[in-house]
Amino acid sequence: MARSVALLLTSRWEGMPNVVLEAMAAARPVVTRPVHGIGGLVEDGQTGLVVPNDQTALLGEALLALLAKRDVAEAMGQRGRKVVAEQYSLETMVSRYEAVWQQEVAVAG
């Protein structure tokens, strides 16, 4: 990942793929399709590029655009890193789980 410019994810179906979080944590933009589970992670033009499902050739074009404009790729990557640090860090996720558990315990009485 360290030597890559971007992550290319060509899946048509995913849950919440860890590889996207890993790429974003490594400050790499993600080129993908509008896959369920990724929508909350990859924001088109901000943390990566999202290509319509029926436009497969655009995946390559999007990747080439990032290769040609490394400054744009780096800026997207830094925004992605910030998203992961703020929303998906270990501390944040533990806090979210604790809140859910506390709510369930309170409901159960």
**What are 58-76's pLDDT values in tens digits?**
999 999 999 999 999 999 9
Instruction: For residue 50, tell me if it sits in a domain.
Output: yes
Cα–Cα distance for residue pair 63/18, rounded to 1 Å: 20
Q: What CATH number does residue 12 fall under?
A: 3.40.50.2000
The number of residues making up the chain comes to 109
Q: What is the mean pLDDT of residues 16-44?
A: 92
The answer as to whether 109 is a domain residue is no
In the chain, how many domains are there? 1
The model scores a pTM over 0.75: yes
Supply the range of the domain harboring residue 65: 7-84
Provide the pLDDT for residue 92: 83
Is 60 a member of any domain?
yes
CA distances 64 to 17, 20, 50, 77, 101, Å, are 23, 19, 14, 16, 45
Does 89 fall in a domain?
A: no
Residue 95 located in a structural domain: no
Does residue 98 lie in a domain region?
Answer: no
